[in-house]
Each structure stands twice: as structure tokens, then as C-alpha cells.
Amino acid sequence: VRCQSTSTEEPKTRRNLFDNASNLLTNLLSGGNLGSMPIAEGAVSDLFGRPLFFSLYDWFLEHGSVYRLAFGPKSFVVVSDPIVARHILRENMYSYDKGVLAEILEPIMGKGLIPADLETWKQRRRVIAPGFHSLFLEAMVRTFIDCSEKTILKLEKLLESKSDGEGGTIQLDLEAEFSNLALDIIGLGVFNYSFGSVTKESPVIKAVYGTLFEAEHRSTFYIPYWKLPFARWIVPRQRKFHSDLKAINDCLDGLIRNAKETRQEDDVEKLQERDYSNLKDASLLRFLVDMRGADVDDRQLRDDLMTMLIAGHETTAAVLTWSVFLLAQNPSKMKKAQEEIDSVLGDGMITIECLKKLEYVRLIIAESLRLYPQPPLLIRRSLKPDLLPGGYNGDKDGYAIPAGTDIFISVYNLHRSPYFWDRPHEFEPERFLVPRKSEGIKGWAGFDPSRSPGALYPNEIIADFSFLPFGGGARKCVGDQFALMESTVALAMLLKKFDVELVGSPDSVELVTGATIHTKNGLWCNVRKRALH
Ligand code: HEM
């Protein structure tokens, strides 16, 4: 039995790994100690009554930062501990794959990066990650602006036509608007395809939403009846799912065919030096197809595109939704953000330089991701026996786990842990500016913004894995900077033009969750044009 180490480890971690390896051997020879882990017994009502991550939080406070959740014969290890999360996601990442998540997503994303087995992932990550280079991101700012402008124009028209005459207010489900906006942006950014969903509804858009709906259904429905023979022909919703999938696949296949027919072979360096400001098609698909030696079969390329379409759509829409939800309850913070936006943008257009100056808006995005992480759980399965390190709150010796152990890393619990955050449930964007010492929390390096110099947004390095908005380690989100810049542009442009308040009370906004945390019935807001500023 061997603990794998990676080249990024610090010497201290290496020593720990050596100690862990001998502990692991001892533990395994004695039959492991998973049995001594605290157990939370789940009831069926925990699965259906409310989003599971709420119950996981209550059990975390009751049982500690590593516990076992048992549903009848099935059990999961629930981790709410940065040291253990760091071990699974970074230090020993090659001992884990995506387990249950891969099983759910494989029919939709195939061997795309998110569900991919480690071998496929290694090959594809190497090819896809360079596509998110800085010139691509800069070119995308134009796309973020154009798409946000369309949303704003739509709201302005609605205000003109439906205004109630009492100060010019409209009631609108902003979650739906953000979903359309994010879909348009991801379509253009990933494959230069205009969904045009802000202004119209095409069959492909309906198919995308249908597929997302099914993915969510599958992730919250615990009996995988769709695997039964003939289910795809007999069960109406499965029939619809397969016809939606076909519509998207046909669309993607057409785009891939077209990109290949117009291919200009190049190497990565040259591609990264192209004049992106003048490119008609700056999309990721163009990059992946043009790259020298990137001869990849169309099926893999389609899986990659489908993965990014789904990964980059609802997640970003959710960040915008929860940012507005939180700001609407905190008018003074909304005003502070608007003052920053006015002073940075003036009457001008947003640019990449502006993004660097919009510090408060960026912190709002980060704080929204802390309170509503997308997804709230990261899922892993151990491929071999492992020793989880002792957590910060008393599990000194750690736990030996056998191969095949299913793990939920609860990002929601980490982000709201009373051990790592003051007033963990409060919306305080300013909190990220204040360093926090580890104060005797063994094995945790504290919260220190200077640890990641040059980073525009707080990240997992600064927080030593107590903040994981985009995961961590080598399987961290490839689209993180894309998504953060997109959300900042869209939020800044919206707040520059409009004031927003919730239609009902915050408690009336019910949460549901699949891959992301979203509302049950929309985020209904009163939207009003801002007075001249
Ligand atoms: C992975 C979050 C936007 C593409 C991830 C992971 C998280 C995440 C937490 C890690 C999953 C895990 O470890 O199991 C988010 C959030 C986003 C966002 C919160 C928006 C605010 C995007 C965008 C794209 C994207 C815009 C693409 C354009 C991916 C891909 C992976 C991934 C391909 C898999 C990476 C790998 O395994 O190598 N994302 N994401 N995401 N994300 Fe994102």
C-alpha cells in the first residue's frame, strides 16, 4: 500500500505523507478504522424534504468534520475539513475519480473533462487548459459586454412598455434572465454559436434546458431507473431526454464539422499570439481544432464542448442570481457597489482595466460563491485504499478508507464553517480583505491574501482550502477566470443601470439543488431604472 505524492508538495507534506503511509499500512493490516468514524443516519425524508446539503450541514455541526452518512446499505463519507479536502483534491488526487458523479453525467457528457476517467482527463486537460489563455479571456470581455447589453436593452424595453407608472418598475424573474445571458455567452465563447436566447427561444435552447433538467433529476433521484433496459423508449421523460440530447449533439456535430473544414493548422504558441481583437471567431472550438497535433476524434471533441456548455452555463447564472439576492437584502452594499461602478466606469464602457479596479464588485462575486457554492458538493470515489489525514477538530489519527469509498466534500459546509469564518452566514464581501491566522488550528495555514499575489479574486490557495469556489488541485475548474470576469462584467453593467429589490421576503425564495443551488420558482425582483448618476 502506497500513498501517492505529487510534485507540488511542500517538504513538510512529504514527511506527513510518509507518516500517513505507515499509519495506513498499520490501519489496513488491522482492517481499517472506517468503523470508528461518526455515523449520521439519513432518513428518506432527508432526501426529499429539502436540499441534502442543509442536512449535511446540521450533521457536520453534530458529528464533526469527517463523518459517515448511511442510507440503508449505502454510505458516503462527508468531508467538511480543509485539510482532508486538500488531501483528496490535491495531494493524493490520483487516488480518486468522480465516482457517482461520473455515472450520472456520462450519458450526457461522455468522456468530457468533468466525468472523465483519469487517463482521458490527463490527455484532454493538457489540450483544453491552454485554450483559456489571457488573449482569449480579453477577447471574451467584448462578448460579455455585448450579451449583457442585450439583456439590459431587453429590460429597458420592458420597463418602457410595462411600466406601472409608479416610478417605472417592472417585476421580473432575474434568474431566468441570467440563465439566458449565461447561455448566450457560453455558446459564443465555447463554439461561436449564437443561441440568441435573451431575445428568442430556439429548439436547441429548449433541448439544452431539457437536458439540464434531466441531469438534475438524475442527480437527486436515487433509483437509476433510466438504466433499465428499454427505459429510454418506454419512459416518456427518458424519450424526451434522448431526443433533446440528439438535438444538441446534431448541432454540435455541425459546428465541429464546420470548424474542421475551415481549419488553419497552427501551434499553440502561435495560436496564443493571434490578434484576438480582430478575430471573427475567437472561440475555444476554433482553438481546439486549429491546434497542431490536436487530431482528436469528433466524439471526444463533442463531449468536451457539451461538458463546457453545461459546466459554464447554470453555474455562472447562479452566481449572478445569488449576488443579486444578497445585494437586494443589503441596500447599503448595493449602493457601495454602484458608487464604485460609477467612479470606475464613468460614462465609458467596461474594459479589462476596469475589471482590475472594480474590487468591491469582485468581492461580491466571491462572497456570493462562498454562501452559495456551485456545486455545493464535490464528489469523489477512492480508487485504492487511502488514509485520510487527521482533520482540524480532533480526528488526530485520520481514517483509513478502502478502495471504492464514496466521498462528498461539502463545499457548502466548508464555506459556512464556524471554525474558519466569523459570522459565517452573513453577507460580508469585505471579509476577504482581512488575513486570518490559523489560531492553533493544526495543519491549516490560515487565510492570507498575500499567498496568491496578483490574484484578482480570492481563491483556494489564499484560504488554504477552506474556500473552494472552483474546486482545487489539478481538477480545478478550467473556466474559473472566464466565469469570474463574465459575472463581474454582467453584474457591474446591470447595477450601473438598475436598482433591484426582492418582490417578496427572502424566506419566500425556496432553494432547490442539483448540480447548482437555484430557486424553486425564480428570483422575482422589482427592477427600476437608476436615477441619473
Ligand atoms: C470543474 C465550478 C464555470 C468548465 C469545476 C469544478 C468546480 C467548478 C467546483 C470542480 C469540480 C470537481 O472537482 O469535481 C464552476 C463555477 C463556475 C464555473 C462555480 C461559474 C461561476 C465554468 C465555465 C467553464 C467550466 C465557464 C467552461 C467554459 C469546467 C470544466 C471542469 C470544471 C471543464 C472540469 C475540470 C477538470 O476536471 O479538469 N467547475 N465552474 N466551468 N469546470 Fe467549472
pLDDT for 32-44, tens place per residue?
Answer: 567 788 998 766 6
Mean pLDDT of 206-229: 76
Radius of gyration from C-alpha coordinates of the chain: 23
- In short, whether 311's Cβ falls inside 6 Å of ligand 1 is yes
Q: How much is the mean pLDDT over the chain?
A: 87
- In short, whether 307's Cβ falls inside 6 Å of ligand 1 is yes
- In short, whether 154's Cβ falls inside 6 Å of ligand 1 is no
The strand ranges marked E within 114-220 are 169-173
Alpha carbon of 310 to ligand 1 centroid (Å)? 9
Instruction: State which H helix or E strand residue 108 sits in.
Output: helix 99-109
In Å, how far from its chain's centre is CA 515?
A: 8
Which ipTM value was assigned to this complex?
Answer: 0.99
335: number of Cβ within 10 Å? 13
Candidates 314, 406, 477: which one to mutate for ligand 1, based on the most atoms within 8 Å of Cβ?
Answer: 477
pLDDT over threshold 80, residue 440: no
The residue ranking higher by pLDDT, 281 or 382, is: 382
What is the pTM (predicted TM-score) of this model?
0.91
Percent of the chain with pLDDT over 90: 63
Specify the pLDDT at position 341: 97
Instruction: State which H helix or E strand residue 401 sits in.
Output: strand 399-401
pLDDT tens, position by position, 366-410: 999 999 999 999 999 999 999 999 877 665 678 999 999 999 999
Specify the pLDDT at position 125: 96
- In short, whether 478's Cβ falls inside 6 Å of ligand 1 is yes
pLDDT tens, position by position, 89-116: 999 999 999 998 898 888 889 999 999 9
Set of cell numbers at residue 342: 460609477
The residue ranking higher by pLDDT, 480 or 194, is: 480
pLDDT tens, position by position, 45-72: 666 668 889 999 999 999 999 999 987 7
* Nearest residue (CA) to ligand 1, atom 6: 477
Alpha carbon of 229 to ligand 1 centroid (Å)? 32
pLDDT tens, position by position, 248-262: 999 999 999 999 988
Residue 393 Cα distances to 160, 464, 494, angstroms = 57, 16, 43
pLDDT tens, position by position, 302-346: 999 999 999 999 999 999 999 999 999 999 999 999 999 999 999
Atom of ligand 1 nearest to the CA of 373: 19
- In short, whether 85's Cβ falls inside 6 Å of ligand 1 is no
- In short, whether 409's Cβ falls inside 6 Å of ligand 1 is no
* Nearest residue (CA) to ligand 1, atom 39: 477
Q: What residues are paired with 524 via a beta bridge?
A: 173
